Chain A
Amino acid sequence: MSAPKARAADWTVPGERGGGRGAAGAKQALHAEWTKLRTAPGLGWLLLGVVALTVGLGALADTATHCPAHVCHTDPARAVLIGIDLSQAVVAVLAVLVISAEYGTGMIRVTLAAMPRRTTVLAAKAATVTGVVLVAGALAVAGSLLAGRLILPGHGFPQLSLAGPMLRAAAGSVLYLGLIALLSLGIGTAVRGAAAAMGAVLGLLYLVPIIATTVTDAAWHRHLEQLAPMTAGLAIQYTAGLRGLPLSPWAGLGVLAAWAAGALLLGGLLLRLRDA
């Protein structure tokens, strides 16, 4: 906490500096959003949840997976990093609440009164929540890799090497979580209600792969997998059988990035157009 004098300055200055225009406004918005996020109740639990669920589910999957000596169909990277499938839900909660909790309590009106440039507010929220999620995601992925290194060699897998495709899968998984946070923030901004937004985010992520299982037409099945944010984005986790994937790993992450950008655009547009 800074001195009271400085705090007072924070409150009065934005209007004088042109309504938060330019770098100074962005910096203040970032500072404000960071303070709100840092002091939000339950943030620590959510971040701990991201790490614990990722590592925990990954370790369980490692334990359950066995690789017979002659034929190994299981991609070790996918087994190690499967916890992301679960922890993305926690990341989505975190990102949705960053905006929806403000609508729930009416705080959003204070926020927008203090920082009238709504795009700046959304950008600041996006930056802070993504930063926090990337840090938690890096810890979670590191933990999962450690669990994989400890467990998998005993199950017929070769020792996990952190080079090449495995590094791409690990770094990509962290980025995946960051993009999920952006996607969720965008949807949360558009939907506003936290529960409905969570339904929308998890529906978008989890439903499409389920619906794809009933599509027997090979071309349609492939298109669905290429378009769905979760199946496309998680292509980044595969280190084997890349030819069988509907699209290349980085292109898949690109599809998810496009979804996130689209959601943020929609959220930003609605934020500007609607009354708070």
Chain B
Amino acid sequence: MTATRTTPLSRTPVPVSGFTPVLRAEWVKFRTVRGWVIGMIIAALVTVGIALLDHSECGGQVTPGGPSVVGAGCSVPIGPGGEAVSDSFYFAHRPLAGNGSITARIMSLALAGGKGPARLQPWSKAGIIIKASTRPGSAYAAMLVTPGHGTRMQYDFTGDIAGLPGAVSPAAPRWLRLTRSGGTITGYDSADGRHWSTVGTVHLAGLAGTAQAGLFAATPGTTIPGRQSLTGSSSEGALTLASGRFDQVSLAGRWPGQRWAGTQVGGSGQTGAGFRQAGGTVTVTGTGDIAPYVPAVSGGTGTPIESTLTGVFAALIAVIVVAALFIAAEYRRGLIRVTFAASPARARVLAAKAAVIGGVTFVAGLAGAAGAMVFGTALLRSNGNFILPVSALTGARVLAGTAALLAVVAVLAVALGAILRSGAAAVTVLIVAIVLPYLLAIALPVLPASAAGWLLRVTPAAGFAIEQTVQRYAQVAASYTPRNGYYPLPPWAGFAVLCAWAALAVAVAVFLLRRRDA
């Protein structure tokens, strides 16, 4: 281009060499087509715009201009590790000043009261616990029995160590013991009270000075499937009560309190919850759970941050149209022959196109996702919703991952455009390949969960896993289905599936570009 001014002779087309001029040519092509630039801007704006459509409210009415009354009961306690937790149970406790231990024999764990189809869950629990305070989310270590998973030692919500197997019954009681030495707690269990085995030793960072220790019981609610609609099914939770019967409770160390105090930790007091002492027997009845918070469990009030990113699907369609046209329009107008005459290395042209459209899409996607996450969470919070906290690293992964997802799809669209040489065909194939599987697996309750899982493993829609922040926990029974926000593949594996599709499409496109006449 600069050469034309000095030597008119060089106006005869000389094939360009090197990647930079090709890249520059493709960038000029992109930015001079107004519709494509507008399409990318729309992609960013629509991501934010759809996030701002979510007027979900939690915990009451919004009073414009008035004092904020929403959000009561919607917040979720935060555990020692910074993650959202469920911490609600009935606690019969006494202060434990300094080192000491608590030992108890648990005779039974059974359902107390409850109506309808209520029953105990495999992870209903009762046992002994040493907790920093009765504040929900405070550090703890517990030895407990469960109906379905035997005896466990659990600590700080995410820690879970298996002890003796088998359920507890008056015929097969379990002895539990916790000893505290500073911030270190060791859990023991025994079937007979004479032969003890160590289950685990854990160090609790938040445990200092006087702790609360005692007996507890909790059970998550029962979920009853409810009304089915076109795009989802609702379910209703029923509160149930679990009752643990203890005897032979013995304490060692300094326990300043004179008697047991009963506290409903977290949640609102449930009728029937409490504790009863009769002779040497203590019965504790409670509901709730001590576990990491899982939104899929019924009655969840926390909102994962990825729920602000629904607009990405709309952005995806805009990006696919622009990226497919970025190459298909050249075929329709015959410009592709000029392009290849100027730069005969066809793979290089495709690489330049992919780099330009991928780079532009990444920037637009980053802007859109950042806007959606910032403004979307602000809107949700103002309506009383509780956004589940994520670490900075996870937040960055969701943000950059969403932008990268869009960019890889744009590259896939360019490759498909080169393969099919028709914008309409490329757009249709890609939307059907990436949006429809998500729709069938998540938005429409038609396919069984197993089929939905496979759709999100093998199709490009697997890439949406990069947005998932909610985690699976073995110690929380929940329906970890795509419909509840759990992808079958881990975030990076899902993204890798999408990248593999893009790589395959680019390889086929390069092969066909070299083989076919333009």
Contacts and interface: CB of A to CB of B under 8 A. Distances in A.
Contact of B431 (A61, A202, A235): A202
Given A195-B321, A203-B314, A213 B56 contact: no
Given A195-B321, A202-B431, A100 B55 contact: no
B50 A211 contact: yes
B252 interface: no
B227 interface: yes
Contacts of B451: 60-61, 64-65
Interface stretch (A1-9, A119-127, A215-223, A254-262): A215-223
Nearest to A218: B234
B448 A65 contact: yes
Interface in B287-330: 307, 310, 313-314, 317-318, 320-321, 324-325, 328
B228 A86 contact: no
Interface in A220-242: 220-222, 225, 231, 234-235, 241
Contacts of B318: 199
Interface stretch (B92-100, B139-147, B435-443): B435-443
B423 A79 contact: no
Contacts of A137: none
A264 B461 CA distance: 32
Contact of A207 (B317, B324, B423, B427): B317
Interface in B226-252: 227-233
A235 B307 CA distance: 26
A61 B451 CA distance: 8
B424 interface: yes
Given A85-B439, A206-B431, A217-B55, A246 B229 contact: yes
Given A89-B436, A211-B53, A235-B230, A198 B428 contact: yes
B424 A212 contact: no
A100 B448 contact: no
Given A195-B426, A203-B317, A206-B431, A212 B436 contact: no
B431 to A, nearest CB: 5
B425 interface: yes
Contacts of B321: 195-196, 198-199
Nearest to A64: B451
A194 B444 contact: no
B54 interface: yes
Interface stretch (A91-99, A156-164, A172-180): A91-99
B320 A221 contact: no
Contacts of A198: 321, 423-424, 427-428, 431
A168 interface: no
A197 interface: yes
A243 to B, nearest CB: 9
A222 B50 CA distance: 18
Contacts of B448: 64-66, 74
* Chain A at the B interface: SS class: helix
Interface residues of B, number: 49
A100 B57 CA distance: 44
A134 B398 CA distance: 44
A268 to B, nearest CB: 21
Contacts of B230: 209, 225, 231, 234-235, 245-246
Contacts of B233: 73
Contacts of B54: 214-215
A18 interface: no
A206 B422 contact: no
Contacts of B432: 86, 89, 202
Contacts of A210: 310, 313, 435, 438-439, 442-443
Given A82-B447, A203-B317, A213 B231 contact: yes
A245 B231 CA distance: 10
A195 B413 CA distance: 11
A214 B436 contact: no
Contacts of A235: 230
A225 B231 contact: yes
Nearest to B454: A64
Nearest to A81: B446
B332 A82 contact: no
A15 interface: no
What bracket does the count of chain A residues touching chain B fall in? 35 or more
B408 to A, nearest CB: 18
Interface in B74-89: none
Contacts of A22: none
Given A64-B451, A213-B231, A217-B57, A85 B436 contact: yes
Contacts of A85: 436, 439-440, 444
B424 A209 contact: no
Greatest chain B CB density within 10 A among A78, A202, A212, A215 is at A202
A222 to B, nearest CB: 8
A85 B325 CA distance: 25
A36 to B, nearest CB: 17
Contact of A73 (B225, B310, B422): B225
A89 B428 contact: yes
A78 B440 CA distance: 12
A105 to B, nearest CB: 9
Contacts of B56: 214-217
Interface in A51-80: 60-61, 64-66, 73-74, 78-79
Given A73-B225, A196-B321, A206 B436 contact: yes
A214 B310 contact: yes
A156 to B, nearest CB: 12
Given A61-B446, A194-B423, A245 B229 contact: yes
A96 B423 CA distance: 12
B198 interface: no
B307 A73 contact: no
Interface in A126-181: none
Given A199-B317, A199-B321, A213-B231, A206 B447 contact: no
Nearest to B325: A195
22 contacts: A61-B451, A65-B451, A66-B448, A78-B446, A82-B440, A85-B439, A90-B428, A92-B428, A100-B424, A104-B332, A195-B423, A195-B424, A196-B35, A198-B423, A199-B427, A203-B431, A211-B314, A213-B310, A215-B53, A215-B56, A231-B231, A244-B227
* Nearest 3 Cβ contacts at the A-B interface: A195-B423, A194-B424, A64-B451
Given A93-B425, A196-B35, 19 more contacts: A65-B448, A78-B446, A86-B432, A89-B436, A198-B427, A199-B317, A199-B431, A202-B317, A206-B439, A209-B439, A213-B443, A214-B56, A215-B54, A216-B56, A220-B55, A221-B229, A225-B229, A244-B229, A246-B229
Interface of B: 35, 50, 53-57, 225, 227-233, 307, 310, 313-314, 317-318, 320-321, 324-325, 328, 332, 422-428, 431-432, 435-436, 438-440, 442-444, 446-448, 450-451
